[in-house]
Structure 1
Amino acid sequence: MTTLKQARGPQPDQPRLSLAEVIETVTDGPLPVRFTAYDGSAAGPPDAELGLHLLAPRGASYLVTAPGDLGLARAYVSGDLDLAGVHPGDPYPLLRALEDVRFRLPPPRLLPVIARSLGTELLRPPPPPPQEALPRWRRVAEGLRHSRTRDAEAIRHHYDVSNAFYERVLGPSMTYTCACYPHEAATLEEAQENKYRLVFDKLRLQEGDRLLDIGCGWGGMVRYAARRGVRAIGATLSREQAAWAQRAIDEESLGGLAEVRFSDYRDIKESGFDAVSSIGLTEHVGVRHYPAYFRGIRERLRVGGLLLNHCITRPDNRMRPTGAFIDRYVFPDGELTGSGAVIAAAQDAGLEVRHEENLREHYALTLAQWCRNLADHWDACVEEVGQATARVWGLYMAGSRLGFERGGVELHQVLAVRTDGRGAAGLPLRPWWDG
């Protein structure tokens, strides 16, 4: 096969090129999986168990006109690309096989060859799938990112999908954050319960204490604390989450102790809390807003009150984009930085950091179970949210699992305290869990 990678430019007598040859121009290195296309062409190892099958011209246009992995995601989400050898709810084995493959735009010198071989329409970018959120931040001043309106829109895009969908994927705990596995054979529910226990113990919560849980999701931490006599308030920007959480509180007869508000965490007026938990919120705050975020938390704590900040981080403290697929399909406006930047921002806001740990491997295990849940309940999930959205979730969770396994992303818990200004915090010399 004469590949476009070998071509040096359009030649009058050059034969027409197949879709497989065109696809080779947008990949660096040999394909480790089998690629087949609707024109009958193929590339990659003939005996590969895993593969990609291109079904329609629109999918080919996505692959050729969108940079990086975005084109692959668009073709897959739109239904123009099928995966072979994996379940759509858990495409992890295929993503692992493609881990070292880099997708790019075809070189400009080869565009005339592609146009002559397959038609100019192939080079015209189709509209993206409707599940894609346009990155409007590129067209507005940077200061408008993470405004209250923008944050509410971003949260609605991701979290107001369907409570029934989340129940099937997340399981009975309805907890959409990293679990903490007491051992590798633990169930997801055991690990999520253990995570709440860990947070509760780190915050030294006792019956009668007051807890504020910001970005509380479906109220898992709020209800865990309330069952143990703690008065807990949760805040979420997702109306669907708040309604589900409040029903769960009522069903457990915890209304005298627990409350979940459909509210921006910045609108919580109460103060003097014994503890604040932030489990999976910092990713949505925006790095530029860390100073105000941590100052606001400090102002809501009593002297000696503790903060447990649990968030996804990078393995370094350099700022860079989250990636087109994540930004457009999963977490619009989401930002990540390293644990060092998180700790520094907390310290600069007047909080004294006492403990931190990385639960990276635990998140890989959590995501693996979420993918299994999605695969096990695939038909019901597709019926609930549609095939395109279900495909987005399978792709996103399997890809994230790979990232946590390989160390491209981490999960850090940071424990900090508000001192009295003279260094007194009323804490023991060493916490019991630290040995």
Structure 2
Amino acid sequence: MTTFKEPTTRETRTHKLTISEILELVSDGNIPLRFTAYDGSAAGPEDAEIGLTLKSPRGTTYLATAPGDLGMARAYVSGDLDAVGVHPGDPYDLLRIMGDELHFRRPSALTLASITRSLGWDLLRPIAPPPQEVVPRWRRIAEGLRHSKTRDADSISHHYDVSNTFYEYVLGPSMTYTCAAYTSENDTLEAAQENKYRLVFEKLGLKEGDRLLDIGCGWGGMVRFAARRGVKTIGATLSKEQAAWAQKAIAEEGLSDLAEVRFSDYRDITESNFDAVSSIGLTEHIGVHNYPSYFDAIKSKLRVGGRVLNHSITRPDNRSHARAGSFIDRYVFPDGELTGSGRIITEMQDVGLEVRHEENLREHYALTLKAWCKNLVDNWDACVAEAGEGTARVWGLYMAGSRLGFERNVVQLHQVLGVKLGPKGEANVPLRPWWEG
């Protein structure tokens, strides 16, 4: 390990630091990858297989004016910071090394003065972020209150209306943008996604002739799975692009008499008395403070004895701050919020839904994300042509980072099964789990 000592007062006044020297100063001196910069400086092992290249002063400005994951994301998405030894569609190995072995520290006032003098004020003036970034939370108030119908629609559109063609490349034939359920690590993505829908279907106890409401239905994968088995299904999504794609797929499969996907807020569905409600990947978007009204709305749509399956990303505890980090909030899921499965179960119980089962599919989501990254790598040129390199870089960074998060238990994926009891506590479910795992 090399150690770069902090400058003395005399050195602060006389020595102009290189970019690589600045990196060594703000880290613990142990650079586990090869770093090179546009000023000709370098740090880290020369024989490292994985590295970073800072290509321009603009990248330095991004890094210096938004420290942490947001600054790194800006420099990377803009192309000013390049990964070496990994594909931009799957920078997992780079993120793993950085997370495990690259540790930053708060520099002293003397060191900050030296860094500031070396960079110069021109590089420390904030500049416009890449176009893929949305405005910060405090500026979104003009778009409506957080998790109002209007603001939720805008947030969903930002993420899901990128391009149906782009999603076809990344998600594969299933067009399913939620955690799959693997029977083994050797399963194909398509088999695991089909297995996920089968798992939800069986947990809900659906049978031919039943009625299902699928809220946050995406491109209609669950809707079509249920309709193929004789279940009359309504899906709702706030993405106009998703709704159009789903309706076309429904028609092409000849399922129009059983299935429908609406471009609609789940709160605007007027039908009720459903046998089951599935919510697969929606809870992350609605806001934790809206959980009571959300689960109460679901309960109001169910018949007595009806079941709900809530499938969502969660935190590993119920104490952490609900809001997403800067990169996720500004580039991926604006206004997204996560909490622990305990909070979800509590809110379901408090509106009168009896929780019958829950399970954590954390490792399954890591495998799902790995498969999506592979699809992005395999279809990189087509994805760039469709959505632009900046957007493709956002997706590679987001999915690889999320995979690492699920592996390291930073986030989890929980399915929670509830039932709307009868007036005398009737649940009408088998005594033991009735589905295949």
TM-score (norm 1): 0.96
Partner of 1:236: 237
Matches within 5 A, 1:317-332: 317-320=318-321, 321-332=323-334
SS of the equivalent of 2:133 reads coil
Structure 1: distance between partners of 2:392 and 2:103? 24
Structure 1: distance between partners of 2:28 and 2:153? 39
TM-score (norm 2): 0.95
Q: 1:23 touches 1:63 (CA, 8 Å); kept in 2?
A: no
Structure 2: distance between partners of 1:4 and 1:58? 25
- CA distance 1:306–1:10, change in 2 (3 Å): farther
Matches within 5 A, 1:259-274: 259-274=260-275
Instruction: Compare 108-117 and 243-252 and name the one that shifted more.
Output: 108-117
Deviation at 1:433, TM superposition (A): 3.0
SS of the equivalent of 1:379 reads helix
- CA distance 1:424–1:78, change in 2 (3 Å): same
Deviation at 1:29, TM superposition (A): 5.3
SS of the equivalent of 2:435 reads helix
- CA distance 1:138–1:340, change in 2 (3 Å): farther
- CA distance 1:266–1:6, change in 2 (3 Å): same
Q: 2:280 touches 2:311 (CA, 8 Å); kept in 1?
A: yes
Q: For the aligned residues, what is the CA RMSD?
A: 2.1
Partner of 1:161: 162
SS of the equivalent of 2:99 reads coil
Partner of 1:39: 39
Structure 1: distance between partners of 2:307 and 2:123? 57
Residue ranges of structure 2 left out of the alignment (5+ in a row): none
Amino acid at match of 1:401: R
Matches within 5 A, 1:28-67: 28=28, 30-67=30-67
Q: 2:3 touches 2:28 (CA, 8 Å); kept in 1?
A: no
Q: 1:23 touches 1:64 (CA, 8 Å); kept in 2?
A: no
Structure 2: distance between partners of 1:212 and 1:13? 68
Partner of 1:364: 366
Q: 1:276 touches 1:308 (CA, 8 Å); kept in 2?
A: yes
SS of the equivalent of 1:46 reads coil
Partner of 1:294: 295
Partner of 2:150: 149
- CA distance 1:125–1:103, change in 2 (3 Å): farther
Deviation at 1:434, TM superposition (A): 7.3
Partner of 2:84: 84
Structure 1: distance between partners of 2:12 and 2:205? 77
May I ask how many residue pairs the two structures share in their alignment? 435
Structure 1: distance between partners of 2:142 and 2:53? 41
- CA distance 1:308–1:8, change in 2 (3 Å): farther
Deviation digits for residues 226-251 of structure 1 (CA, Å, limit 9, x no counterpart): 00000000000000000000000000
Deviation digits for residues 109-140 of structure 1 (CA, Å, limit 9, x no counterpart): 43432343232212112211111111234674
Q: 1:64 touches 1:105 (CA, 8 Å); kept in 2?
A: no
Residue ranges of structure 1 left out of the alignment (5+ in a row): none
Q: 1:69 touches 1:103 (CA, 8 Å); kept in 2?
A: no
Deviation digits for residues 1-34 of structure 1 (CA, Å, limit 9, x no counterpart): x987512556465322111112234435522111
Matches within 5 A, 1:126-205: 126-137=127-138, 140=141, 144-205=145-206
Partner of 2:18: 18
Identity, in percent, stands at 71
SS of the equivalent of 2:275 reads strand
Q: 2:233 touches 2:258 (CA, 8 Å); kept in 1?
A: yes
Deviation at 1:318, TM superposition (A): 1.4
Partner of 2:415: 413
Instruction: Compare 35-44 and 111-120 and name the one that shifted more.
Output: 111-120
SS of the equivalent of 1:99 reads helix
Q: 2:181 touches 2:193 (CA, 8 Å); kept in 1?
A: yes
Partner of 1:377: 379
Deviation at 1:422, TM superposition (A): 2.0
Structure 1: distance between partners of 2:192 and 2:436? 19
Structure 1: distance between partners of 2:50 and 2:276? 49
